[in-house]
Amino acid sequence: MLERAGLRIPTAGVDAGLFATILIAYFVPVSALLAESRAERVAAAVAVLCSPVFFASILFIRTFAAARFSGAALLHALGVPRALSSARTCYAGMNAVMAALTGRSM
């Protein structure tokens, strides 16, 4: 969205922003985010706690775009087929246990 609007942050700036915001989030105690007004609390929490996610997402998207993965390759890299296979195996195992305990087929 930023790049479509013509706002491209250099990669070095993204790396520095990610590192800096992680350090800030680590060293700023959560109690320091408790301001008097609700708006100030929300703004402080979003600025400190969500900034690392913002920079990490930019870095992830650029890395993903440079690798030229397809959607199927991404799902495979994330282990989705293995997770689905494990879920099917787990479900079949639970059915077998329930059938053994209740004496009925599920």
The encoded tokens of residue 15 equal 């790396």
Claim to verify: residue 74 and residue 41 sit in the same structural domain: no
Q: Are 35 and 41 in contact (CB under 8 A)?
A: yes
Claim to verify: residue 80 and residue 33 sit in the same structural domain: no
Q: Is the pLDDT reported for residue 95 higher than 70?
A: yes
Q: Is the pTM of this model over 0.85?
A: no
Claim to verify: residue 75 and residue 94 sit in the same structural domain: yes
Q: Is the pLDDT reported for residue 26 higher than 60?
A: yes
Claim to verify: residue 8 and residue 54 sit in the same structural domain: yes
Give residue 5's domain range.
1-68
Claim to verify: residue 9 and residue 35 sit in the same structural domain: yes
Claim to verify: residue 100 and residue 56 sit in the same structural domain: no
Q: Tell me the Ramachandran region of residue 34: left when phi exceeds 0, alpha when psi lies from -120 to 50, beta otherwise.
A: beta
pLDDT digit string, tens, across residues 45-83: 888 888 899 888 888 878 777 776 666 666 666 665 666
Cα–Cα distance for residue pair 71/68, rounded to 1 Å: 10
The 10 Å CB-count burial string (b at 16+, else e) for 11-23 is eeebeebbeebee
Q: Are 24 and 48 in contact (CB under 8 A)?
A: yes
Claim to verify: residue 29 and residue 53 sit in the same structural domain: yes
- When divided into structural domains, the chain yields a total of 2
Claim to verify: residue 11 and residue 34 sit in the same structural domain: yes
